[in-house]
Structure 1
Amino acid sequence: MPEAAPAIFFQYRTNVSSGDRLVRTIISLTTSALLDFTDFSIYHELGSDPANAGRSAKKGLIVALAAFGSRDRLELHVALKNFQSSEILLMQNFSICRKEEVLEQGDIELASSCIVEAILNTMKKSLEKLDISDCATTFANRARNLVFRFDKAALLSADRYFQAAYELAPKPQYLAWRAFGRTIAQFQHRTPELPGDNVSVDGLFHEAISEAPDSATVLGIGAHIEYLRGGSPRNSLSLAKRAVKYDPLNSVNLAILSNTELILGDLKSSRASSLAALQLTGGSEARAFTEFFCCMSAAALGEYEDATNHAEAALLLRPSFVAPLRYLITLHKQAGRTASYDRSVSRMRVLETGFTPAQMLDSNYPVTTLRRLRLFDALVT
């Protein structure tokens, strides 16, 4: 019999009514985001004794929240604890601005996003302490992190972990993630195929969307696939907007939304969405991905120095990520930075055998968004 999903127990205390609203909102947002990713067992409103709310659960995390108020802000203290031993595994503090009892939504979403990432990272790093065996949740968590390393070996491992997770718990989101990994492989390595099977991107996604039409994960990945595989940009925008509405904490979906806004000419909204995605990403494994989308949105506005900074940041985090390197080559060419251009081309040849900048002019070369930008003209001259 498959190992049960690990449990998450929320408990909280506060000394002000706005603190109660804050904590309940954060619990609601984090629960929605976590359950859209994988199958946790989640228990709410536990007071000081989580065991009373989840007697059948034996393993997992306690997420203890405490909110205390002053005139213009609330201080939120978060502790992640081992359910079995009560050992504190992580502590975080957040400051939430408020004006006339109205809390700043951006602060709430940022804190909630950080808590989601903290839970997933703690689950990943403390499996032994938490006495959690391999299950669909642990497989999916490993896979998600591997996707954003971008190299072939990591993408193949991610696909296998998501496949294993699906076999244990057939959650449609795992199919969507497999489609996403193949899409990254297509643009990163110029091939959507992964060794060992003949599963298609379209097949995976269509099965996922038929089973979970209101999943933020599935909708966001669908928006990405719709655009990159030559579908309707407006359909892509509609899917991305729905995804962000259903889960405002998902930085990957916000990044995808920024790209759909870009291709439809709403460049200011695209820039705002990409920067919001970057803020929500924090230090998670997806940071290089959202930095790259910030690079694209800045380049679309002609903010080439900012675009260069984002591309370099993405490459610092993930040196094998070729998408920002393609932009960096073009940005250096546009700015006349010959030495930097030559170094970037040499670096690209290590990652992509036989690469020449002229290849980027080929209509089949994977620079779908760059080809739409004025910056692309730098490659022609």
Structure 2
Amino acid sequence: MAQTQTGQAGTGIGARDDVSRPTLRISVTGPLSVVTSDGREVTPPGAKTQGLVALLALSPGLRRSRRWIEDKLWSDFGPEQASANLRQALTKLRAAFGPAADAVRADRTSVGFDPERVTVATRLPAGHAAPGRDLLEGIDVRDAEFEDWLRGERARHAAEIEASRPVRATGVLMSCRTEVHDSTLQALFGEILSNQIGESIAEQVRAWRRSGRHTGTHAGAAQEDPTSDLEIACDLLGGSDGARVYIRIVHLPSARMLYSKLQKLDDPQDILSSSPAISALVFEAADRALAMLPQAVDRARPEARATALSRLALYRMFSFEPASLREADDLLTQAHEADANGVYTAWRSLIRTIQMIELLEPDPQALREEMVELNRRALEEGPDNALVQALLSQVRVMALGDAAGGLDLARQSVDRNPTSAFGWLSLSVSRMLAGDQTEAIALSARAREIARFSPFRQWWDLYHCIVCVACNAPAAAIEAGEAAARAAPSFRPAHRHLLALYALEGRLDKAEETARRLARIEPGFTLDRFVNDDTYPVRTLRTKGLLEPVRALL
């Protein structure tokens, strides 16, 4: 986030400051404030009107599309009512601005501020900023979409403030330990498991692992190794009813528990083979620890800032919403600026792929060129990162049709980290493109099982649905598509596939219900476009001839 946003007039208010054209200064640090060039306070009353000012003030170029604004302020309303509400808010805003009302610019598609008339200050003047002042304090719009947007903006604002103190990214230090209770073999199993969790964390944040076994108590371990940030401990316990493993991930400086779980094991040997059950345990532990990491580690550290930004980005990205994908790309750009980790570049390459496939941006060729460049850069920045390899494999298969290159990266990813759901998914998609139907479905099912506790599990459900469609397994495809739709009710790709699959099975009532839902969540959706527009993003359904049954609904 830039410190100020200005137009050609420069950084100050006064380049075109005269009586006939008063200018405005909007402050967003602390409570929202709008002041004219002659010092009059013209902050509009009303939460929604203030929310409109906030959205525009923090938008690129001080402008947004009407639909984007309506989605943030009136997400529970239908399109017509949301548009009427926006018109009313603009009327109130112009009335509050008085002589500066014409600084508000609106047309049929977008709303914005005149950048030559409006300056946005995202920091209070030196000497006036109280420590800990938040962005847009006290604003109360009461819309879930606005609150989600505001959390992202506050994270960016906090990252910018903290970034003003130069700190070198040295990486999170993790001690991977096991405690010996019965046998040396059990200790080895525990050490392998703790290192698998550590490796999965290190794929997503700059981190270093320290390995070692010891006897004694956990408290003693903390005293032995006070320099580590995290301790990952896995203790295997025998019993008459079978073995169990107790996993705990602790932030050592504060002794805060980031994750813990007691899990029964069918066979400790499963740790050596990275069975789906063990992989799911590793994947869950790493994901939960990463989610908690920014709250435990000093936020001034680049690793913590980058992790917080990237987690927000993933929540936005996996919605597949056009505006959310752009916000996710911006968040990942900031994460990379805080810590130049190749995984953030790889995620951005995948975002370009989604935007291109979903036809969400006006220039697909530009998207493709950016995607290819980001793909190249990510491999340079993270050549040995299994998650980078998995993400870039999907990009090469989905967008570039590079079956051989995608398969090579997918195999490297799985060999390097066999507990990652991302790696198995990339291998499944590669096998699907190669025509190996049985293996593609089995690999996708394994990836889905590993990711079953992920907050983004709709990603694996969706791709299992697509793989099953491509491999002529419609019943399994419906089950996976319905799971994706349950996990993320506004997830458009899941509903598109379900529409065709329901029609294929003659369940026209379900198909009609799904079409109505798509019309609510996807601007411009029609059944005619779904069936007859060759550019509509249902390539697998079209290739398999599954659009024809939908004609019965036309």
Superposition TM-score tier, normalisation by shorter sequence: 0.7 to 0.9
Aligned pair count reads 373
Question: Contact 2:431/2:439 (CA < 8 Å) preserved in 1?
Answer: yes
Structure 2 Cα separation of the partners of residues 335 and 277 of structure 1: 27
Q: Does 1:308 align with 2:478?
A: yes
Q: Does 1:241 align with 2:415?
A: no
User: In structure 1, which of residues 364, 368, 371 is the aligned counterpart of residue 539 of structure 2?
Assistant: 368
Aligned pairs for 1:1-381 within 5 A = 1-2=166-167, 5-14=171-180, 15-45=182-212, 47=214, 48-53=220-225, 55=227, 57=228, 60-70=229-239, 73-98=242-267, 105-106=274-275, 107-124=277-294, 127=295, 130-133=297-300, 134-188=304-358, 190-191=360-361, 200-360=370-530, 361-373=532-544, 375-379=546-550
Question: Contact 1:79/1:88 (CA < 8 Å) preserved in 2?
Answer: yes
Structure 2 Cα separation of the partners of residues 91 and 227 of structure 1: 37
Structure 2 Cα separation of the partners of residues 233 and 344 of structure 1: 33
Structure 1 Cα separation of the partners of residues 285 and 326 of structure 2: 28
Question: Contact 2:329/2:348 (CA < 8 Å) preserved in 1?
Answer: yes
Q: Partner letter of residue 174 of structure 2? A: I
Task: Give SS of 1:226's match.
Answer: helix
Q: Partner letter of residue 184 of structure 2? A: S
Task: Pick closer, same or farther for the CA change 1:178–1:34 going to 2, 3 Å.
Answer: same
Identity %: 21
Q: Partner letter of residue 64 of structure 1? A: A
Q: CA RMSD in A?
A: 2.9
Structure 1 Cα separation of the partners of residues 383 and 239 of structure 2: 42
Task: Pick closer, same or farther for the CA change 1:71–1:186 going to 2, 3 Å.
Answer: farther
Q: Which 5+ residue runs of structure 2 have no aligned equivalent?
A: 1-165, 215-219
Structure 2 Cα separation of the partners of residues 45 and 100 of structure 1: 20
Q: Partner letter of residue 77 of structure 1? A: Y
Taking CA–CA contacts closer than 8 Å with sequence separation of 6 or more, which of the two structures ends up with the larger relative contact order? Answer: 1
Question: Contact 2:424/2:447 (CA < 8 Å) preserved in 1?
Answer: yes
Structure 2 Cα separation of the partners of residues 101 and 288 of structure 1: 27
Q: Partner letter of residue 369 of structure 1? A: T
Show CA shifts across 1:4-43 (max 9, x none): 5444333321322332121121123222222222202433
Q: What TM-score comes out, normalization by structure 2 length?
A: 0.61
Between structure 1 and structure 2, the one with the greater Rg is: 2
Q: Partner letter of residue 50 of structure 1? A: A
Q: Partner letter of residue 363 of structure 1? A: D
Structure 1 Cα separation of the partners of residues 336 and 452 of structure 2: 28
Question: How much does 1:187 deviate?
Answer: 3.2
Q: Partner letter of residue 2 of structure 1? A: V
The corresponding residue for 2:10 is none
Question: How much does 1:83 deviate?
Answer: 1.6
Task: Pick closer, same or farther for the CA change 1:115–1:228 going to 2, 3 Å.
Answer: same
Task: Pick closer, same or farther for the CA change 1:65–1:346 going to 2, 3 Å.
Answer: same
Task: Pick closer, same or farther for the CA change 1:111–1:198 going to 2, 3 Å.
Answer: closer
Structure 2 Cα separation of the partners of residues 141 and 8 of structure 1: 20
The 10-residue stretch of structure 1 (92-101 or 352-361) with the greater mean CA deviation from structure 2: 92-101
Structure 2 Cα separation of the partners of residues 101 and 219 of structure 1: 25
Q: Partner letter of residue 80 of structure 1? A: I
Task: Pick closer, same or farther for the CA change 1:191–1:240 going to 2, 3 Å.
Answer: farther
Structure 1 Cα separation of the partners of residues 362 and 245 of structure 2: 44
Structure 2 Cα separation of the partners of residues 95 and 18 of structure 1: 17
Q: What TM-score comes out, normalization by structure 1 length?
A: 0.86
Structure 2 Cα separation of the partners of residues 193 and 11 of structure 1: 51
Structure 2 Cα separation of the partners of residues 215 and 100 of structure 1: 26
Structure 2 Cα separation of the partners of residues 235 and 102 of structure 1: 30
The 10-residue stretch of structure 1 (335-344 or 138-147) with the greater mean CA deviation from structure 2: 138-147
